[in-house]
Amino acid sequence: MAQVIADRKDIDFVLHEQFKVGDLAQHDRFAEFPKKVVDMVITEARNLAVKEILPTFKIGDEVGCKFEKGVVTTPEEFHRAWALLREGEWMALTRDPKWGGQGMPETIAIAARDYFIGANMALLLCVSLTHGAARLVELFGTAEQKETYLKNMYTGKWGGTMLLTEPEAGSDLGALTTVARKNPDGTYSITGNKIFITSGEHDLTENIIHPVLARIEGAPEGSRGISLFLVPKFHVNPDGSPGERNDVFCTGIEEKMGIHGSPTCSMALGEKGNCIGTLLGEENKGLAEMFVMMNEERLLVASQSLSSISSAYLYALDYARKRVQSAQAGVKGGAPVAIINHPDVRLMLLTMKMYLEGFRSLIYYIANCEDQKHVAEDAAQKERFQNLIDVLIPVAKGYGSDRAVEMCSMGLQVFGGYGYTCDYPMEQLLRDVRICPIYEGTNGIQALDLIGRKLGMKNGQLFTDMLAEIKKTLQFAKGVDAVGGLANRFEELVDGFALLSQQIAQDAKTPEALKRIANASPFLHVTGDVVMGWMVLWRAAIAAEALAKGAKKKDVAFYEGQLQSARFFVESILPVTQGRMAAVSDPGSAVLDISDDAFGGK
pLDDT at 3: 63
Sign for the pseudo-dihedral over CA of 463, 466, 468, 470: negative
pLDDT at 292: 86
Distance CA 519, CA 517 (A): 5
- Choose the weakest-confidence range: 353-357, 456-460, 592-596: 592-596
- Amino acid at position 265, single letter: C
Q: Give yes or no for residue 220 having a pLDDT over 80.
A: yes
pLDDT, average across residues 385-409:
98
pLDDT at 493: 97
Give the CATH architecture of domain 159-284: Beta Barrel (2.40)
Whether 89 sits among the annotated catalytic residues: the reply is no
Cα separation values, 194 from 14, 128, 255, 259, Å: 40, 19, 16, 20
Pairing label, strands 264-269, 248-253: antiparallel
Question: What residues are paired with 216 via a beta bridge?
Answer: 180
Residue 454 — pLDDT band, cuts 50, 70, 90?
very high
Distance CA 489, CA 2 (A): 39
Q: Which of 358, 377, 320 is nearest to 473 (CA)?
A: 358
Q: Give yes or no for residue 398 having a pLDDT over 80.
A: yes
pLDDT at 271: 95
pLDDT digits (tens, 9 = 90+) for 529-572: 999 999 999 999 999 999 999 999 999 999 999 999 999 999 99
Give helix 106-119 / helix 286-322 axis angle, nearest 10°.
60
pLDDT at 293: 85
Pairing label, strands 324-327, 336-338: antiparallel
Q: Give yes or no for residue 102 having a pLDDT over 60.
A: yes
Residue 468 exposed, middle or buried by CB count within 10 Å (0-12, 13-18, 19+): exposed
The percentage of the chain sitting over the pLDDT mark of 90, rounded to a whole number, equals: 91
Give helix 121-140 / helix 286-322 axis angle, nearest 10°.
160
Q: Give yes or no for residue 2 having a pLDDT over 70.
A: no
Domain ranges, ordered by start, for the chain: 8-154, 159-284, 442-596
Ranges assigned E (strand) in 113-182: 159-160, 179-182
pLDDT, average across residues 2-31:
94
Distance CA 466, CA 447 (A): 17
Question: What residues are paired with 189 via a beta bridge?
Answer: 181, 276
DSSP secondary structure string, 422-462?
Answer: TTSTHHHHHHHHTTTTTSSS-HHHHHHHIIIIITTGGGGHH
pLDDT at 588: 82
What CATH number does the domain located at 8-154 have? 1.10.540.10
Sign for the pseudo-dihedral over CA of 93, 97, 74, 48: positive
Question: What residues are paired with 67 via a beta bridge?
Answer: 72
Residue 175 — pLDDT band, cuts 50, 70, 90?
confident
Distance CA 497, CA 84 (A): 47
Find the helix or strand (DSSP H, E) in which 361 lies.
helix 343-375
User: For 329, which DSSP code?
Assistant: T
Q: Give yes or no for residue 511 having a pLDDT over 90.
A: no
Of 440, 512, 545, 571, catalytic: 440
pLDDT digits (tens, 9 = 90+) for 411-423: 999 999 999 999 9
pLDDT digits (tens, 9 = 90+) for 576-593: 999 999 999 988 889 888
pLDDT, average across residues 336-357:
97
Residue 515 — pLDDT band, cuts 50, 70, 90?
confident
pLDDT, average across residues 428-444:
96
Residue 390 — pLDDT band, cuts 50, 70, 90?
very high
Grouping H, G, I as helix, E, B as strand and the rest as coil, residue 365 is helix
pLDDT digits (tens, 9 = 90+) for 244-277: 999 999 999 999 999 999 999 999 999 999 999 9
Distance CA 102, CA 92 (A): 7
Do the first three CATH levels of 8-154 and 159-284 match, i.e. the same topology?
no
pLDDT at 106: 97
pLDDT, the chain, mean: 95
> How remote is the C-alpha of 18 from its chain's centroid?
20
Phi/psi at 280 (5° precision) = -110, 115
pLDDT at 174: 75
DSSP secondary structure string, 67-84?
Answer: EETTEEE--HHHHHHHHH
Q: Name every residue whose Cβ is closer than 8 Å to that of residue 5 and which is 6 or more positions away in sequence.
A: 46, 49, 50, 54, 114, 115, 118, 119, 307, 310, 311, 314
